Amino acid sequence: MRPLVIAHRGASGYLPESTLPAKALAAGMGADYVEHDVVMTRDDRLLINHDLWLDNVSDVAERFPGRERADGHFYVIDFDLDEILSLSVTERFTVVDGRAVAVFPDRFPVWQSHFAFHTLEDEIEFLQGLRHSSGRDVGMFTELKSPWFHEQEGKDLSAAVYDVLARYGYRTPESRCRVMSFDAHALQRIRAEVGPAAGVDVPLTQLICRTEGHETYERMPDGTWENYDYDWMLQPGGMERIREWADGIGPDVRMLLRHGEPMAAGELAGWAHDAGLYVTPWTVRADDLPHCAPSLQALVRLLADECAVEGIITDFPDLVIEALA
């Protein structure tokens, strides 16, 4: 069976990430699942957005000057949903000399056409409506974005997301939904408490990144917060520990490759499979390949044939489907 094709923030290689048009294009291209990130607003609504902040994909700085925090970011959690829905969304950018510069210059142009934010409920209703009208049952890879941050802010992101999943019928392992997070403590709590309380038992994916990325912080016994150390996950025996609370792993695709050239499979996928975990790496991008990968097609074939991954998370679902054909 070929790996699942999981459209990362939708078909984000072609349309602004996380928007409903990007999800529609992914479905039309034949993606099996769409991946999205969920963040909570000030008024406890669940927004689809990759970052904890709004400023790299919207006009929030122009619309709401002075609402940024000390680090310069405009955080989702500092805005009500109605305020966020009034913003214009665009292709991801950075600001250079006061000008918006696209992170991926060959993708959709910055500030062209009109796109908007939407909620988790909006996206579920969109996908379920598409299933009704077309027969295409596109599933969801739902990432809980930094539950630890929401905990610091007094919000329970995991419980809120699980309430929505239950309401829309995503309750069993066979449901077209998998929940992911980099936050191991959040996944452990979901397995033990949040899922059973909501009556939701969908597969859980432990996302893995480099410790130096400062993706996750954990509360220490003295109440302070420290950068979470992922290094143990990448050592022999790490996968067996993860299996205590997760059904699969989502590593950076580079973690599945040996260091250096030529491109070759490493040991991590085998360790995961031996522990009974599925493997769904992120993110395969035609315009940002690992240095050792000669082409997207070659990378996809190695992931499918040598690593035997169960899914591939990609910004370019059409190209991955073509490579797997």
By annotation, the residues acting in catalysis are 8, 50
Give CA–CA dist 74/287, Å, rounded. Answer: 28
How big is the CA angle at 215 (ends 238 and 297), to the nearest 5 degrees? 75
What is the chain's Cα-based Rg? 19
Residues written for the chain:
325
Burial class of residue 71 in the structure, from the number of CB atoms within 10 Å of its CB (0-12 exposed, 13-18 middle, 19+ buried): exposed
Angle, vertex CA 85, rays to CA 103 and CA 284, nearest 5 = 30
On whether the CB atoms of residues 51 and 75 are closer than 8 A, the answer is no
Token pair of 301 as six digits: 């074939």
Q: With residue 281 as reference, give the H or E element that holds it.
A: none
In angstroms, the CA 184 to CA 134 distance is 37
Identify the three-state secondary structure at position 130.
Answer: helix
Region of 113 please: left (phi>0), alpha (psi -120 to 50) or beta.
left
* Cis peptide upstream of residue 283 (ω within 30 degrees of 0): yes
Burial of 73 per CB tally in 10 Å (0-12, 13-18, 19+) = middle
Half-sphere exposure of 4 (CA within 13 A, CB side): 23
